[in-house]
Amino acid sequence: MTRSDLRIGMVGLGALGLPMAINLNRAGYRLQVHTRSRQAEQNPGLHGALRCSNPADAARGVDLLMLCVSDDQAVNTVLFGANGAIETLQPGCVVIDCSTITPANSIAAAERLAIGKIDYIDAPLTGGTEGARAGTLTVLVGGQDTVLQRARPVLDVIGGTIHHFGPVGSGQQVKAVNQVLVAGTYAAVAEAMALGQRLNLPMDAVVDALRSGAAGSWALDHRAKAMLNRDYPLGFRLALHHKDLSIALNAARETDLHLPVTQLVQQMEADLMASGHEDQDVSCLRQWLK
């Protein structure tokens, strides 16, 4: 089938979902979209896409349904709630769940969809809004290889690299590992920027010097300037990362593993959320170090 033959449903047009949908639209796929607020459906980049009033309408007649929503409850509502996608999904359709949720919820969703002969892969993402706009996200997949191959042409549009780790739920497990790394690196960059500023160093020059050495990281490259300027353009919401760390910490507890650094960062995030920073980028961790 050509791109013009495939029909894709997209539910969730947030910071990642909207640029992903725009890239799919530009690639020539027949797209039908829905998001809870309905506002992003009117984005000029989605010209020609069919705007749908609920998930059931977005899933009607599609070959693949892509989700990019906030948490377990949102995924379950989109798929199985009132006017949920399960009402209209056809046997043989593939659900590509790009949300970050618990592995157990991914497994349960896949089992419930399988009753109707609907396939499911979990495909959480990393790479931030920059990667979503550029179509270079890293896609972390759990599910059957045959299902991934059917989804791959779509994933190739939104992702620079696609990695398959095993059965449904394994993509979410890898995303939990990713979020632990994000927690540590963002917090370390925040502390480093705070120390450099207290020492009155020329911080732009410091960052340029350090990014190519052992301290180099995505967070240093992409978020150090925001921390220095105390300006946090949204890449990934603090509240969502805080939720993701709960998933990672629960997984650690289930394997009798203590993650003290991750626990500390989650508490820092909780403090910031209590002060009204929940909708800012994770880089606002710098604000904790006043």
The residue annotated as part of the active site, out of 175, 225, 243, 290, is: 175
- What interhelical angle do 218-229 and 203-210 show, nearest 10? 170
- Helix ranges (H only) for 43-102 are 55-59, 72-80
For strands 125-126 and 137-142, give the pairing.
Answer: antiparallel
User: What is the distance between the alpha carbons of residues 24 and 11, in angstroms, rounded to a whole number?
Assistant: 13
User: Nearest CA to 79 among 125, 34, 17?
Assistant: 34
Known catalytic residue at 225: no
Give residue 14's identity as a one-letter amino acid code. G
* Strand ranges, E, within 57-117: 64-67, 94-97
Give how far the C-alpha of residue 124 lies from the chain's centroid of Cα atoms, to the nearest Å.
6
Q: How many residues does the chain have?
A: 290
Interior CA angle at 130 toward 233 and 140, to 5°?
A: 120
String of b and e for 277-287 (b: at least 16 CB within 10 Å)?
bbebbbbbbbb
**Strand partners of residue 163:** 140
**Could you count the other beta carbons within 10 Å of the beta carbon of residue 145?**
10
Active site residues: 175
